[in-house]
């Protein structure tokens, strides 16, 4: 029998800032920023000859100073010659998650999860997966299903459109018209296994209107947040992937009406002329929890 989907507790991932692991100034600045998560990148952002230095510097930095956000380390591919060294360093740095690049099959998750288990990694250490190749998109449902197996470490998909465009020849057009089917395919795979999913980077941080429109599109498609390349993108991403007050008010009204003694055993009730089911209560509880988490985070920045 298939195990029921177990969604992880609400965790804000509206803004996920990518930071080169060898940029000392950028590392130091993260603690001052309101990003929900920071990806410290040992892969694409670091030249091969600097990877060892970046790895050691990142461990030292996170040992001495930890930003008030979710900490993710993007490692090099496990078959690259750098990946296992990155994993060993990550265990020392104690991030919240490790981001695996160019995941193309369940085996990529299994290998990483097995390595972590063999090296006594804490159960709280999560895995994120970059979906950024044609094989990754095609196999996204099978990859996502590993979230319920292999220790249940898989927590989140991150879409990488730059590599996907490169490998498919699909042009970078406003509105991403030819990419929407793949974006939705990845989202459905993630949601089918209870995973979060983060939209791809917007490459021109100076184009604020274009960025805002792409955030709106990602939110409307159901994405939890956006991977960012510049601190200027944090505020707009937090706003777009946040919650509207009207939606929060409605969610709390649904929670309140289902909490009435006379509605305790009802599966469907009427609220302001609308038929409300228990599934709406589940959605309301998640939205209210997200709103509460956002308010707590706002108080810290």
Q: From the first residue on, what is the mean pLDDT of each consecutive set of 10 residues in the chain (301 residues)?
A: 48 96 95 97 95 96 94 95 94 97 96 94 96 98 84 92 97 95 98 96 96 98 97 97 93 92 88 89 91 89 78
Whether 137 and 235 map to the same domain: the answer is yes
16 exposure class (CB count in 10 Å sphere: 0-12, 13-18, 19+): buried
- In the prediction, which pLDDT does 248 show? 93
Whether 275 and 129 map to the same domain: the answer is no
Which two tokens mark 79? 């078959």
Residue 5 lies in a domain: no
Whether 199 and 136 map to the same domain: the answer is yes
Whether 292 and 178 map to the same domain: the answer is no
Alpha helices in the chain (DSSP H): 24-29, 51-64, 83-93, 106-118, 134-138, 140-145, 161-168, 180-192, 208-221, 234-240, 245-258, 278-298
Whether 168 and 259 map to the same domain: the answer is no
Whether 234 and 263 map to the same domain: the answer is no
CA distance 155 to 153: 6
Residue 44 lies in a domain: yes
Residue carrying the six token digits 């929670």:
255
CA distance 238 to 294: 9
Residues spanned by the domain of 199: 15-240
Q: How many domains does the chain have?
A: 2
Residue 146 lies in a domain: yes
Whether 24 and 79 map to the same domain: the answer is yes
Residue 3 lies in a domain: no
Q: 216, 240, 264 — which closes off a domain?
A: 240
Residue 207 lies in a domain: yes
Whether 160 and 41 map to the same domain: the answer is yes
Q: 223, 240, 257 — which closes off a domain?
A: 240
- In the prediction, which pLDDT does 9 show? 57
- In the prediction, which pLDDT does 151 show? 64
Phi-psi region of 65 (alpha: psi -120 to 50; beta: other; left: phi over 0): beta
- In the prediction, which pLDDT does 300 show? 83
Q: 202, 224, 240 — which closes off a domain?
A: 240
Which two tokens mark 151? 């220790």
Residue 208 lies in a domain: yes
């Amino acid at each position: 029998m298939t195990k029921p989907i177990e969604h992880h507790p609400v965790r804000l991932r509206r803004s996920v800032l990518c930071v080169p692991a060898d940029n000392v100034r950028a590392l130091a600045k993260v603690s001052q920023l309101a990003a929900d998560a920071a990806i410290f990148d040992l892969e694409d952002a670091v030249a091969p000859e600097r990877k060892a230095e970046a790895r050691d510097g990142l461990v030292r930095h996170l040992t001495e100073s930890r930003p008030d956000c979710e900490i993710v380390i993007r490692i090099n591919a496990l078959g690259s010659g750098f990946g296992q060294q990155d994993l060993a360093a990550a265990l020392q740095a104690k991030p919240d998650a490790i981001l695996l690049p160019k995941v193309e099959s369940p085996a990529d998750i299994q290998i990483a999860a097995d390595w972590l288990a063999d090296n006594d990694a804490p159960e709280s250490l999560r895995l994120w997966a970059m979906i950024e190749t044609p094989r990754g998109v095609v196999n996204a449902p099978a990859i996502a299903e590993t979230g319920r197996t292999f220790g249940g470490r898989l927590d989140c998909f991150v879409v990488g459109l730059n590599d996907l465009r490169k490998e498919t020849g699909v042009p970078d057009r406003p509105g991403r018209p030819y990419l929407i089917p793949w974006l939705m395919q990845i989202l459905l795979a993630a949601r089918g296994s209870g995973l979060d999913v983060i939209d791809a980077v917007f490459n021109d941080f100076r184009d604020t209107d274009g960025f805002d429109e792409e955030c709106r599109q990602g939110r409307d498609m159901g994405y939890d947040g956006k991977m960012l390349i510049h601190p200027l993108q944090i505020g707009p991403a937090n706003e777009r992937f946040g919650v509207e007050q009207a939606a929060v008010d409605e969610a709390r009204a649904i929670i309140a009406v289902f909490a009435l003694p006379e509605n305790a055993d009802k599966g469907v009730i009427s609220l302001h002329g609308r038929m409300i089911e228990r599934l709406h209560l589940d959605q309301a509880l998640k939205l209210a929890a997200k709103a509460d988490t956002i308010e707590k985070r706002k108080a810290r920045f």
